[in-house]
């Protein structure tokens, strides 16, 4: 219990800063591709010419495919975690993933200046999105395991970095638009930004082993179990020796001494006690843990299913009711910036307010009530549309709905993820976290798949 009294200090908050940057870096790929929808759509929705005749541009449903091919790798690699993590070292998984993400971003930068027909550009971009998010899934899973070895506050710092990744991407897009540079030049500057961000993330990871505070906790996890085992064996040996000492004292002269001699039954009790301790420390099965957290697993799946079913596949196609320069900024501000700031705020509020409590039946009911946001957003000024009417044409109505949509998403996701480990014993918290990560990924994938029929329904 006294093992952490000699822990060094995080001088200059360098370890905290490193994990904040690492959190930011894990979600940069998804957010930079998602926020650049206007760039990709302009490259794809070009007029094709055949025998001197203009043909209508092909409908690629870029938003839907990008969302689906971003989230499927997360689900696949979550399932492969046990195989991959046991056979590939943490350093290779983290540093290697960051290097490949950097190379794929550089490919995207090069493609800005490479003329290419729409079909080929679409195929190359989809392949890039698949692979870049595959490496991001490995990176995110590895870093979640790494930050779990440090004190609790570092997990909050890491997730705070993740929460600001979207805001960072939205601001980068706004700066690119506001620069009034040529289209290619603005896109080039935009995609160079995550290249620099990924490099900084890699340097932050490489800096960790050089920081005394990080070394203390990252190495301590390997020593802790061995130390605990030694202590347990030491106690069992003491328990075994004590009866012998009492027996000798009894023979030397003392009926009182003889009364405390446990004899053979004492030996048996000592070993039974040790066996019970060992059984108590054994981890519960996955199914046993799932039964305890199944409500939270459902909640995190449902929250992300609702969120990804309309964001960004439907919300990115909303058009402003005004004309002029505002049209260029509308989606970047009212869709991406509003969503990411509100989502981050919703996550942050959980450090102050945690309502409803984890045992309350109201919690899953409120999560399910978020389903109302799906028709509300579909009835905004989404263009092009075929079936549904527009009920909320004003920009302010869309911004308000998006704010509440994102606030509730961040709040309920963070509550679900923090409640789940509290529903199991400490020894099963890691299993609960892994299960929640799987259901989080499942919700993202289901939501991405549902975005196709929902967008078509509009």
Distance CA 244, CA 368 (A): 64
pTM confidence score? 0.78
CA 170 to chain centre: 18
> For every one of its 458 residues, what pLDDT tens digit does the chain have, with 9 covering 90 and above?
444 556 788 888 999 999 999 999 999 988 999 999 889 988 887 655 444 454 556 778 888 899 899 888 888 887 776 666 668 888 898 999 999 999 999 999 999 999 999 999 999 999 999 999 999 988 887 887 788 788 878 877 887 888 889 999 999 999 998 988 888 899 999 999 999 999 999 999 999 999 999 988 887 555 434 443 344 345 444 444 444 444 444 444 444 443 444 444 444 444 444 444 444 567 788 899 999 999 999 999 999 999 999 999 999 999 999 988 899 999 999 999 999 999 989 988 887 888 999 999 999 999 999 999 999 999 999 998 989 999 999 999 999 999 999 999 999 998 898 888 889 887 887 678 778 888 988 999 999 999 999 999 99
Beta strands in 52-198 (DSSP E): 53-55
Coil vs helix vs strand at 380? strand
CA 270 to chain centre: 45
DSSP sequence for 256-278: HHHHT--HHHHHHHHHHHHHHHH
Task: Report the alpha-carbon distance of residue 426 to residue 283 in Å, rounded.
Answer: 9
Asked if 314 contacts 382 with a C-beta cutoff of 8 angstroms, the reply is yes
Given a contact cutoff of 8 angstroms between Cβ atoms, the answer to whether 193 and 32 are in contact is: yes
Please tell me the predicted confidence (pLDDT) of residue 210. Answer: 92
What per-residue confidence (pLDDT) applies to 437? 80
- Asked whether the beta carbons of 200 and 21 are under 8 A apart, the reply is yes
Measured CA to CA in angstroms, residue 136 lies from 67, 79, 198, 299 at distances of: 14, 15, 11, 24
Please state the separation of Cα 136 from the chain's center in Å.
10
Cα–Cα dist 229/226, whole Å: 5
At residue 50, φ and ψ (nearest 5 deg) are -135, 115
What's 61's DSSP letter?
A: -
Domain positions in the chain are 12-217, 286-458
Q: Per DSSP, what are the bridge partners of residue 380? A: 392
Would you state the structure tokens that stand for residue 328, as one six-digit string?
């260029």
- Number of residues that this document lists for the chain: 458
| DSSP per residue, 298-349 | HHHHHHHHHHHHHTTTTGGGB--SS-STHHHHHIIIIIIIHHHHHHHHHHHH
H/E segment holding residue 49: strand 48-50
Long-range contacts of 53-59 (CB under 8 A, 24+ apart): 57/118, 58/118, 58/119
Question: Alpha-carbon distance 230 to 427, whole Å?
Answer: 19
Neighbours of 284 (CB within 10 A): 16
Q: With CA atoms as reference, report the closest residue to 91 among 99, 82, 101, 102.
A: 99
First to last CA, the chain: 60
pLDDT of residue 60: 84
Residue with tokens 């978020």: 370
| Residue 290: how many other CB atoms lie within 10 Å | 17
Which class would CATH give 12-217? mainly alpha
């Amino acid at each position: 219990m006294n093992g952490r009294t000699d822990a060094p200090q995080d001088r200059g908050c360098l370890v905290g800063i490193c994990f904040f940057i690492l959190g930011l870096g894990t979600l940069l790929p998804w957010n930079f591709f998602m926020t650049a929808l206007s760039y990709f759509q302009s490259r794809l929705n070009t007029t094709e010419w055949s025998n001197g005749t203009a043909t209508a541009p092909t409908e690629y449903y870029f938003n839907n495919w990008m969302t689906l091919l971003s989230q499927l790798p997360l689900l696949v690699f979550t399932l492969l975690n046990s195989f991959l993590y046991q056979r590939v070292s943490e350093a290779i998984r983290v540093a290697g993933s960051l290097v490949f993400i950097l190379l794929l971003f550089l490919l995207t930068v090069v493609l800005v200046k490479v003329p290419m027909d729409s079909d080929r550009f679409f195929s190359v971009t989809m392949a890039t999105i698949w692979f870049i998010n595959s490496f991001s899934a490995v990176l995110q899973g590895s870093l979640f395991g790494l930050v779990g070895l440090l004190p609790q506050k570092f997990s909050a710092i890491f997730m705070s970095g993740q929460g600001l990744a979207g805001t960072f991407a939205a601001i980068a897009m706004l700066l690119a638009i506001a620069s009034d540079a040529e289209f290619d030049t603005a896109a080039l500057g935009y995609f160079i930004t995550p290249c620099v961000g990924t490099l900084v993330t890699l340097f932050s990871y490489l800096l960790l082993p050089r920081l005394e505070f990080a070394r203390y906790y990252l190495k301590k996890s390997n020593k802790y179990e061995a130390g605990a085992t030694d202590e347990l064996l030491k106690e069992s040996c003491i328990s075994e020796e004590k009866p012998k000492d009492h027996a000798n004292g009894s023979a030397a002269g003392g009926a009182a001494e003889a009364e405390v001699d446990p004899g053979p039954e004492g030996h048996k009790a000592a070993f039974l006690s040790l066996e019970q301790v060992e059984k108590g420390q054994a981890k519960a099965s996955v199914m046993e843990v799932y039964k305890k957290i199944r409500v939270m697993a459902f909640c995190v799946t449902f929250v992300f299913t609702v969120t990804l079913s309309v964001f960004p596949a439907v919300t990115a196609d909303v058009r402003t009711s005004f004309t002029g320069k505002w049209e260029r900024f509308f989606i970047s501000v009212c869709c991406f910036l509003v969503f990411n700031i509100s989502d981050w705020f919703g996550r942050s509020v959980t450090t102050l307010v945690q309502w409803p409590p984890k045992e309350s039946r109201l919690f899953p009911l409120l999560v399910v009530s978020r389903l109302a946001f799906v028709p509300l957003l579909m009835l905004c000024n989404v263009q092009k549309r075929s079936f549904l009417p527009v009920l909320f044409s004003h920009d302010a109505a869309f911004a308000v709905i998006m704010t509440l949509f994102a606030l509730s998403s961040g709040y309920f996701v963070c509550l679900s993820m923090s409640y789940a480990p509290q529903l199991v014993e400490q020894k099963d918290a890691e299993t609960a976290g892994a299960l929640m990560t799987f259901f989080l990924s499942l919700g993202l994938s289901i939501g991405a798949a549902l975005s196709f029929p929902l967008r078509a329904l509009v």
